[in-house]
């Protein structure tokens, strides 16, 4: 890998696109998830939150699950080379572990971390560079990709602009499925994979036989001071103070009629406040909550149905004993 990363910035992350999306969110009082990751301060807070609360970091069973999934995915890769494309790379820990497994099996690797946050793209790139010296690079290639997946309408065009070698892609989509509406990104994932590629994704699951009861059991794990702090950093950047409102958590049905449930966070103003953001007058008033976050909880059966409906074939799956986390490997039909 080069000493200085080259990051391709898609139009969805250009300043005018971000400003347009922000203005839309101000008018609807619904904050897209991407605005919680953009700054270095937000990225640091999210990385600390992930280290503190993520089952993949704290739960031995979940850690073992990912170890098995990554090892078996690498073992089943039947090509001599791979382009590992990490969609929503976050800090890149799992992707780097997968690269190490592939390299141990003498698979020549190209790595592209993608995220909506430049700090996270750089974090994942740096972690890969430090731990996996066998990754190849080409003189004309880009090392990272900054884009909003929901704003990419032609994945193949964007992949061509990365100028990577024409080798099979192994695409990771770890930790993202809960934060996308079901219709937003899944129809395009087969395009990201390509003809000979595979997709490795994870999903937060609801434990137990009673789906709704399982989701409600998990509500307390989201409602903590560290998560609330991360979600309100954006509002504080606008000028709100901590005592101006509070974050409230709830369980609600999918608004698109899928039958899924999601855990949601809303900011409820206590004080009246008014600010100028991107030239827009923004009012915070009691009785007018702002949607900050949602996270869908799935079931293994639900994920298999989503895979089938979007032109993919399930190859393997791994589920924790608690039933709260699942990893799935699939390919195009």
Cα–Cα distance for residue pair 200/194, rounded to 1 Å: 13
Question: CATH 3.40.50.150: which residues of the chain?
Answer: 7-207+299-332
Cα–Cα distance for residue pair 148/65, rounded to 1 Å: 29
Of 112, 115, 161, 151, residue with least CA distance to 16: 151
**Conformational region of residue 93, where left means phi above 0, alpha means psi within -120 to 50, and beta covers everything else:** alpha
Q: Which residues pair with 168 in a beta bridge?
A: none
Cα–Cα distance for residue pair 94/71, rounded to 1 Å: 11
Q: Which residues contact 1 (CB under 8 A, 6 or more apart)?
A: 111, 125, 128, 129, 135, 137, 143
pLDDT at 246: 97
pLDDT at 183: 84
Q: How many helices (H) and strands (E) does the chain have?
A: 11, 13
pLDDT at 160: 86
pLDDT at 5: 79
7-207+299-332, what's its fold?
Rossmann fold (3.40.50)
pLDDT at 9: 94
pLDDT at 50: 87
Question: What SS3 state is found at 167?
Answer: coil
Q: Identify the DSSP state of 293.
A: E
One digit per residue, the tens of pLDDT, for the chain of length 333 reads 556 778 999 999 999 999 999 999 999 999 999 999 989 899 999 989 988 888 777 788 999 999 999 999 999 999 999 999 999 999 999 999 999 999 899 998 889 999 999 999 999 998 888 876 656 554 445 689 999 998 898 898 888 888 776 789 999 999 999 999 988 888 889 899 988 899 999 999 999 999 999 999 999 889 999 999 999 999 999 999 989 999 999 999 999 999 999 999 999 999 999 999 888 899 999 999 999 999 999 999 999 999 999 999 999 999 999 999 999 999 998
pLDDT at 129: 84
């Amino acid at each position: 890998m080069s000493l200085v990363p080259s990051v391709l910035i898609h139009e969805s992350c250009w300043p005018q696109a971000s400003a347009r999306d922000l203005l839309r969110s101000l008018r609807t009082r619904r904050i897209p998830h991407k605005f919680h990751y953009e700054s270095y301060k937000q990225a640091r807070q999210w990385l600390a939150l992930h280290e503190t609360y993520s089952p993949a970091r704290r739960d031995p069973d979940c850690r073992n699950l990912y170890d098995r999934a990554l090892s078996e995915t690498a073992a089943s890769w039947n090509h001599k080379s791979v382009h590992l494309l990490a969609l929503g790379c976050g800090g890149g820990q799992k992707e780097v572990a997968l690269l190490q497994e592939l390299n141990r099996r003498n698979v020549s690797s190209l790595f592209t971390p993608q995220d909506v946050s430049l700090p996270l793209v750089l974090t994942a790139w740096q972690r890969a560079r430090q731990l996996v010296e066998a990754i190849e690079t080409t003189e004309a290639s880009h090392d990272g990709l900054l884009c909003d997946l929901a704003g990419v309408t032609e994945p193949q065009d964007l992949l061509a602009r990365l100028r990577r070698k024409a080798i099979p892609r192994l695409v990771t989509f770890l930790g993202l499925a809960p934060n996308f509406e079901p219709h937003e990104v899944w129809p395009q994932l087969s395009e990201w994979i390509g003809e000979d590629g595979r997709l490795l994704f994870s999903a937060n699951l609801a434990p137990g036989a009673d789906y709704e009861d399982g989701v409600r059991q998990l509500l307390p794990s989201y409602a903590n001071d560290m998560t609330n702090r991360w979600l309100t950093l954006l509002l504080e950047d606008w000028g709100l103070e901590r005592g101006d409102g509070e974050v409230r958590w709830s369980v609600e049905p999918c608004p698109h009629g899928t039958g899924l449930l999601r855990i949601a966070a809303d900011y409820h103003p206590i004080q009246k406040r008014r600010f100028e953001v991107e030239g827009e007058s923004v009012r915070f008033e009691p009785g007018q909550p702002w949607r900050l976050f949602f996270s869908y909880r799935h079931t293994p059966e639900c994920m298999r149905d989503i895979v089938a409906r979007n032109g993919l074939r399930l190859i393997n799956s791994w589920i924790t004993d608690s039933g709260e986390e699942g990893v799935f490997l699939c390919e195009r039909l």
